[in-house]
Amino acid sequence: MWREKVQEYEDQIIEDLNGLLKIESVREDNKADEDHPVGPGPREALDYMYKLAQRDGFESHDVDHIAGRIEAGEGSDLFGILCHVDVVPAGEGWDSNPFDPVVTDKDIIARGTLDDKGPTIAAYYAVKILNEMNVNWKKRIHIIIGTDEESDWLCTDRYFKTEEMPALGFAPDAEFPAIHGEKGISTFDIKQTSKDDELDEPDYELISFKSGQRYNMVPDEAEAHVGVKENMTDVIQNFEQYLSEQNLDGESTVDSGVLVLNVQGKAVHGMDPSIGVNAGLYLLNFLSALNLDKTAANFIDFSEKYLFESHFGEKMGMKYHTDTMGDVTTNIGVISYDKENGGQYGVNLRYPQGFEFEEAMDRFKNEIKQLGFTFEIGKDQKPHYVEKDDPFVQKLVQVYREQTGDEAEPYTIGGGTYARNLDKGVAYGAMFKGSEDLMHQKNEYISKKQLFDATSIYLQSIYEICVEG
Ligand SMILES: [Zn+2]
């Protein structure tokens, strides 16, 4: 019955989605001002949603042009649906204009179809259809719309500073059946503080070292500049041998007496570093066998002792596991060293609910102090978790199962979704098991089936929670 109800609206859904997809709602800081806090595109997309709301008889409320909401329902309890209308830049290589949607028999192709304009329109239509059915609402609904999800979440930061936090909610910005837990995500820098004065002339001097640019990626490239007094050929030979033993790509060149070593690894997302190859840590591992100057040796010893081949915090004494959320993971995303300033490791650590983050950091800080290292926490987002057998999660999953016949279980992830902005919220669709995930990639599309099926699932869920509930 729900799916039939959606059928009456299919053409309208596509038309309204197309209008939203045509807006190039990419953040543009160079065009930002008070009226367009992250640029004109995102603001235009937000206003577009207000226009739909006005046409359909809903109130809307704007919050500094960076976020806002569409209001529906009645009652004291507030239910939230958290969406975003900004998109990542189109990038190269599209077969069509990414901001001029192509509608085929089966698909709609444009930037934002999956992330997150398609799901936003699906959720909006679920509310609109119920409203036009004149249901007897028992809860208020806020469809909260952000315009900076793809960058810094300035939208939700601003919004929840002054606006009401829903008691419950979902974010249609990931996958079905539901993501009910997300690890804590922290970044910190480990900095070398002490420099050793060299009494003897070392055989080799580490002049500089560089690997990685982002905390949340495993670095696939590393480069070291080494001053070599003698036996240059031996070092090069050992390096070649090391590469082949470890099955790595790399090369060595000599540039006016300085040996430049380069290693290639495998970049993967920092939430799962064990499936990548950290080029930086391997290159340091090779250098650890050389008789280097003391400051460099101290820096590299640190990697050997705490970081190399340790993806789950085990060498740092931070190994922790829960059956619901998995392991602590540690990614060493940025490594740098120069002989004037010493070195630095940039770490991205993700942890399950229950891991004592502050305690672990304090203990580690004390331990490494004696070795001449200090430590600075960049950011720490706490884990986000709603019990799997919470009636709310169960209801969402049961509706999904009923409509799809798929018995999949809700799950937890190491990454972060928009749902973590809600006190009690989960990510809920709109990707299905078989959906091709082209979020942030070229030729992003949503199938009509996916769009309408998601609308139908949202329709029933919102009905059961906000009308029956
Ligand atoms: Zn998104």
In order of their start, the domains of the chain are: 2-182+384-468 (3.40.630.10), 185-381 (3.30.70.360)
pLDDT of residue 346: 97
- Who surrounds ion ligand 1 at CB < 5 A? 115-116, 173
What spacing in Å lies between the alpha carbon of 374 and ligand 1's midpoint?
A: 36
Which is nearest to 288 in space by CA: 302, 273, 274, 276?
302
State whether residue 92 is helix, strand or coil: coil
What spacing in Å lies between the alpha carbon of 186 and ligand 1's midpoint?
A: 20
* Consecutive 10-residue averages of pLDDT for the chain (469 residues): 96 98 97 96 98 98 98 97 95 94 98 97 98 97 97 95 98 96 95 79 92 92 94 94 97 93 93 95 97 94 97 96 95 95 96 95 95 92 94 97 96 92 96 89 95 98 95
Which is nearest to 415 in space by CA: 424, 427, 429, 431?
427
What spacing in Å lies between the alpha carbon of 416 and ligand 1's midpoint?
A: 10
The single residue listed with the structure tokens 């280097």 is 292
Active site residues: 86, 149
Asked if 334 contacts 219 with a C-beta cutoff of 8 angstroms, the reply is yes
How far is the C-alpha of 299 from the C-alpha of 197, rounded, in Å? Answer: 14
Measured from the Cβ of residue 78, the count of other Cβ atoms closer than 10 Å reads 18
What spacing in Å lies between the alpha carbon of 172 and ligand 1's midpoint?
A: 8
pLDDT of residue 379: 86
Angle between helices 10-21 and 40-55 (to 10 degrees): 160
Measured from the Cβ of residue 86, the count of other Cβ atoms closer than 10 Å reads 28
What spacing in Å lies between the alpha carbon of 321 and ligand 1's midpoint?
A: 28
pLDDT of residue 198: 67
